[in-house]
A = this chain, B = another copy of it.
Amino acid sequence: MGRWEPNAGDRLREAALELFHEQGYDRTTVEEIAARAGLTERTFFRYYTDKREVLFAGAAALQESIVASIKAAPASTTPLDAADAAFAGTSEMFEARRALARKRHELILAHRELQERELIKLASLGAAIAETVHGRGIGRPAASLIGDTAMAIFMNAFVRWVTDTKKHDLAHHMRATYADLRLATA
């Protein structure tokens, strides 16, 4: 093998999550992940540096999408509203991966090293939002607070979404969480 494989990145990610779920994160090897996906280890390493990275492959694309959406928001939109709408705009993408997102969420909760990596990625997304908001003319201290607040809303909305037995979408939970924040600060 070693040739181009359609959706190899996604297939490896799904295979990894299945195996982590079935036999545990610690016991799963890259070799097994590649085999489950019907690919070689060599192909695996063309996509990911290690098995942990498989779980965070979506972070860069999410950040790009959020930043682009905030930049494109009308000038009349408040920065926090723009960030909120940006996350709500990823709702369909998340909806298509609900089952995987749930497995991933449980896995991360159960492993401290994964939690640490997750927190770093989320902090870096918050910093990117702050930078983008600053680019819209907001001073750095306020922009940084807005970045962290947007992340607090998103992270809470995400947990509500991923554990929601009624299956409302992320946009629904973003609205509800943002409303809760307004109540809490009122």
Contact = CB atoms under 8 A, between A and B. Distances in A.
B181 A145 contact: yes
B116 A146 contact: no
For this chain, the copies found in one complex come to 2
Contact of A185 (B156, B160, B185): B185
Interface stretch (A6-14, A46-54, A65-73, A147-155): A147-155
A156 B141 contact: yes
Judged by DSSP, the binding face of A is helix
Contacts of A112: 120
A116 B155 CA distance: 17
Contact of A80 (B123, B151, B185): B185
A169 B183 CA distance: 28
A184 B119 contact: no
Given A120-B112, A142-B180, A185-B182, A156 B152 contact: no
Interface of A: 78-80, 112, 115-117, 119-120, 123, 141-142, 144-146, 148-149, 151-153, 155-156, 159-160, 177, 180-185
Given A116-B119, A119-B120, 5 more contacts: A141-B159, A145-B152, A145-B180, A148-B152, A182-B185
